Amino acid sequence: MTTDAAPVANGASGASAFAPERPEDRWFMAAAIRYAMRHVGRTGTNPSVATLIVRNDGEGPRIVGRGVTALGGRPHAEAGALAEAGELARGATAYVTLEPCAHHGRTPPCAEALVRAGIARVVSAAADPDPRVDGKGHQMLMAGGVAVTRRVMEREAARTIEGYLTRHRRGRPGVTLKMALSRDGRIGIRGGGQVKITGPVSDAQTHLVRARHDAILVGAGTALEDDPRLDCRLPGMAGRSPARIILDPNLRTSPEMTVARTARSVPTMIATFETSDPQRQAALAEAGVTFVACVADPASGRVALPELLEDLAATGITSILVEGGANIAASFLADGLVDRLILVEGAVEIGEAGIVPPLDVAAARSRYRLLRQDVFGADTWFDFACEEIV
């Protein structure tokens, strides 16, 4: 029987050097990243991480164990993969999309569990910025005699957990801004109600994006004009609807609106000034709405978004999808709070009466890095990275 290579020898400092990447590493890490997507948006404050245990007994590598962070965040992916692999984990390689944790909580560190299971080599993707980990997981593995190869497909893995990474590195949730643009570059008609820009295939993709975020945010103007549901309506995925946040500093939302009437089935939060109407607050609270106090930016008089995002991060929210109108989008962009930008170009035309967006595809191409471009039905999606997290 052949097993994976022995750990790299310790240097003079007593710490092992990182082992080099192997030809098969990217193939298995790509599979692990795809598997991690299974629970994105459903693991609480913990990220959705995947682990694959791969063994080679002379007939080629095979997966003998797999795990993904459980719903709610516990147990971690490593525990599930090791349990499935059993004794086959001894001498095998573990592919982990995030550096294994090194701190003691309700369960022992995952790095310690990998060592005890006899894993010979760990290949990790993204680094964990949590100060309780932040390199300590790798050091714990190497101190236990495990060879470590790090940063394999780091950027790709980071995209699946960018909200978690942003929350630790910047103290706020990761923000994705999505806007649908007509063929003539408009996003709606002011006072004209909801304007249908995209088709059914593209709409289904929008609901999938919603399911992968902790919360969806719109402004009071959008809520009042469109009376949206802001949920996930893919078959069988209603339970993956994100929490709803209405940015409504002067509390114009009424208890008769859809977001209020359904607040007991889908968590709904309104960000409002402390001076807003107490009677309306009481009526909305009776419907199941919760509130977060926000403050005004001294310069503009609008909601201070950086402070609001800090407060939302404190509630455990790690990722927010902003689907508001032009003013909300412009504010988030101006404050440098957008990490991902999704622009969807539809086939319809709105005309000169339409609302001009704060930026179009051409402007986004010149300012941000295009991650991917897709076609869904008659619509074209452009996915940009505005802020890099690795």
Catalytic residue numbers read: 78
Output the DSSP codes for 308-347.
HHHHHHHTT--EEEE---HHHHHHHHHTT--SEEEEEE-S
Q: Which residues contact 295 (CB under 8 A, 6 or more apart)?
A: 273, 303, 304, 307
Which residues lie across from 303 on neighbouring strands?
296
Helices (H), 249-294: 258-261, 278-287
* Tokens, residue 390: 């690795």
CA angle 143, 153, 22 (to 5 degrees): 65
Task: Please give the DSSP secondary-structure letter assigned to residue 12.
Answer: T
Could you tell me if 225 and 187 are in contact, meaning their C-beta atoms sit under 8 angstroms apart?
no
Burial 89-127 (b: 16+ CB within 10 A, else e): bebbbbbbbbbbbbeeeeeebbbbbbbebbbbbbbbbbb
The identity of residue 130, as a single letter, is D
Among candidate residues 276, 273, 320, 324, the one with its CA nearest the CA of residue 301:
273
Could you tell me if 155 and 292 are in contact, meaning their C-beta atoms sit under 8 angstroms apart?
no
C-alpha torsion 57→60→65→71, nearest 10: 160
C-alpha torsion 157→162→166→172, nearest 10: -160
Could you tell me if 220 and 227 are in contact, meaning their C-beta atoms sit under 8 angstroms apart?
no
